[in-house]
């Protein structure tokens, strides 16, 4: 039995975005870096999200803190303080969930 498609964008679209993000990338590290940079350049920062029940403002991606072992790290702000959290740990509003780059990220996380 096949899984139900959970994204608003077509698989072909998400694969094309991933291909664009990882063009000329050799190996897992370079592909990871391509995805990180693509998200940092294309997600509509700032946006609000939730983490452990608290509302935060997501202000960007921390490319230096992100790694294959740690995952993609987001820069968030709460009460005028900046924190680093795993991007995958954020609960985002619907308008971000359906953003094609957020969907590309979710598709990539799921291993296609």
Question: What are 7-59's pLDDT values in tens digits?
Answer: 999 999 999 999 999 999 999 999 999 999 999 999 999 999 999 999 999 99
Residue-averaged pLDDT of the chain: 95
pLDDT of the residue at 1: 52
pLDDT of the residue at 63: 97
Q: What is the DSSP string of the chain?
A: -PPPP--SS-HHHHHHHHHHHTTT--HHHHHHHHHHHHHHHHS-SSEEEEETTEEEEEEEE-TTT-BTTTB-EEEEEETTEEEEEEGGG-B--HHHHTSHHHHHHHHHHTT-
- Does the pLDDT of residue 112 top 70, yes or no? no
> How many whole angstroms separate alpha carbon 6 and alpha carbon 59?
26
Largest CA distance in the chain: 48
pTM here?
0.92
């Amino acid at each position: 039995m096949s899984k139900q498609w959970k994204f608003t964008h077509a698989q072909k679209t998400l694969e094309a975005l991933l291909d664009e993000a990882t063009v000329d990338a050799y190996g897992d590290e370079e592909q990871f870096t391509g995805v990180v940079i693509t998200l940092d350049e294309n997600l509509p920062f700032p946006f609000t999200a939730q983490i452990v029940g608290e509302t935060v403002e997501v202000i960007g991606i921390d490319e230096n803190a992100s790694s294959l072992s740690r995952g993609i790290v987001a820069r968030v702000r709460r009460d005028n303080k900046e924190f680093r959290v795993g991007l995958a740990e954020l609960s985002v509003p619907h308008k971000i969930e359906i953003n094609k780059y957020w969907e590309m990220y979710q598709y990539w996380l799921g291993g296609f």
